[in-house]
Chains A and B, each alone.
Chain A
């Protein structure tokens, strides 16, 4: 038995033990746990977003150079952060899935992709809307914008690949390989685009030279970032729950869980 097989066998045992945290890698336990987590993160996201947006619009002072338009930063920056972190999370779950043979890891990677692509789109869109009044253009071939656009293509490629493979086992693993290759390339893409950009145009649109942020702005940004995290976790887990039910449709517990969900919805 190779070392990796031994490792997998150990994981299998841990997944079956009722005391170990690893048991949540088993689809049934995962479904139970996420049933508790999704509403929690959902409410946290809603609450934080309300507080954060209120602070963004009414508490935070206007910027002395950009005036009111800078307030888009409270959505733009968390969206850009989330889009990058989620791609890394997809690659992480892909690696976990490939090494430990845990099906739920692949499902998590799949479930994260649409949310990551959405954040990517939000970052690009708010960036364009911010760019017009401040730089006078919706789009500049700035290193960050271009990398963000390429990241969007990476997300679309992942989603397209996973959806065109019918066999779930191959879809899981092919998606994981692509996410790993993509995540290795993200820093290379960023570096190359920055190289290309600095040669072709001056760094006229650099954000790094902006004055340091006031504390109230920073706190607002942090609240919005936590809101984005909570939203992403809630939505990705909810999506993963549906996928787990679909994949496990042949099992007893999944059929019972699905029946319970339908009964609850009809009662409402």
Chain B
């Protein structure tokens, strides 16, 4: 079981490294969209400081959404997915490795880049520290819920758009608690509850989402 987990993890890490342009595209998207907002709302420093956590969270969320379609796409096309589903080990084992690798190669770089983009919004020092933490705690939930959506829409017409329609309403709670934690940190209010809710949500999604994802993948390859 652990051998399979590690093997899939190594394979996914290698694939992500070989096709690192994909990760760079998501990161570039994050940077470009985050720079678009000041053009839209103006460069009033106080306004930008207020909206920075929200804008960076929404933009990161959209960047995660952008990476989701390719989560299963290649494996589905070349038949790897079918072989994995035929393996004797329970599907959540290799799915866990796959999703962990995907999260590390997409969401972690986004969280690392976030403080740099926060610089453009001239935020308070406390935001630089806590914005990436909230992203790290919240994005596992995005990846996990998104994976169920990606499995459900695998191989359909306009699957990317459909995926957005399916998962964006489900992303709302993550966005609310993520932004609220940073906003509370800015205001000097306690925000441990929001962090706990983000972490708890991610843990609950880790326990539940792989099963739904596996069921949806079985439907897709039938």
Interface SS of chain A: helix
Interface residues of A in 150-189 (CB under 8 A from B): 150, 153-154, 156-157, 160-161, 164-165, 167, 169-170, 173-174, 177-178, 180-182, 184-185, 188-189
- Is A196 interfacial (CB 8 A cutoff)? yes
Does B176 contact A161, Cβ atoms closer than 8 Å?
no
Contact partner of A164 (CB less than 8 A), chosen from B148, B157, B168, is: B157
Q: Are A153 and B168 neighbours in the complex by a CB distance under 8 Å?
A: yes
> How distant is the Cα of A171 from the Cα of B168 in the complex, in angstroms?
20
A157 and B166 form a contact (CB under 8 A)? yes
User: Which residues on A sit within 8 Å (CB–CB) of B158?
Assistant: 164
Q: How far is the CA of A157 from the CA of B176 in the complex (A)?
A: 21
* Residues 156-185 of chain B, each 1 if its beta carbon lies under 8 Å from chain A, else 0: 111000100110111011001100100000
A231 to B165, CA, bound (A): 28
A189 partner, pick from B157, B169, B212, beta carbons under 8 A: B169
A29 CA / B165 CA spacing, docked (Å) = 36
Asked if A192 lies at the interface with its beta carbon under 8 angstroms from chain B, I say yes
Residues in A120-178 with C-beta less than 8 Å from chain B: 150, 153-154, 156-157, 160-161, 164-165, 167, 169-170, 173-174, 177-178
Chain B residues within an 8 Å CB radius of A157 = 162, 165-166, 169
User: Which chain B residue lies CB-closest to A156?
Assistant: B165
Residues on the A chain within 8 Å of B219, using CB = 169-170, 173-174, 177
Q: Is A199 an interface residue (CB 8 A)?
A: yes
* Chain A residue contacts of B170, Cβ below 8 A: 181-182, 185, 189
- The interface residues of chain A lying within 8 Å CB-to-CB of B172 are 150, 189, 192-193
Report if A54 contacts B (CB, 8 A). Answer: no
- Contact residues in A for B176 (Cβ distance below 8 Å): 192-193, 195-196
On chain A, the residues within 8 Å of B168 by CB distance are 153
A-B contact count (CB 8 A): 74
Cβ contacts under 8 Å, A193 to chain B: 172-173, 176
A10 to chain B, nearest CB (A): 22
- Chain A nearest CB from B127 CB (Å) reads 17
Contact count band on A: 20 to 34
Neighbouring B residues of A180 by C-beta, 8 Å? 212
B44 at the interface (CB under 8 A from A): no
Given A164-B162, A170-B222: A177 touches B180 (CB 8 Å cut-off): no
CB of B71 within 8 A of chain A? no
Contact with A along B188-217 (1 / 0, CB 8 A): 000000000000010000001000100110
Q: Which residues of A contact B153 (CB under 8 A)?
A: 161, 164
- B148–A181 contact, CB under 8 A? yes
Q: Are A177 and B169 in contact (CB under 8 A)?
A: no
Is A160's CB under 8 angstroms from B165's CB? yes
Cα of A195 to Cα of B156 in the assembled complex, Å: 36
For the complex formed, measure the closest distance between the CB of B87 and the CB atoms of chain A, giving whole angstroms. Answer: 19
> Does any Cβ of A come within 8 Å of B152's Cβ?
yes
Closest to A151 in B: B169
A195 to B201, CA, bound (A): 15
Given contacts A177-B216, A180-B212, 7 further A-B contacts (CB under 8 A): A161-B152, A161-B166, A164-B153, A164-B162, A167-B222, A174-B152, A185-B173
In the assembled complex, 10 residue pairs joining A and B whose CB atoms fall closer than 8 Å, in A order, are A153-B165, A153-B168, A154-B169, A157-B165, A160-B162, A160-B166, A161-B162, A164-B156, A178-B152, A191-B173
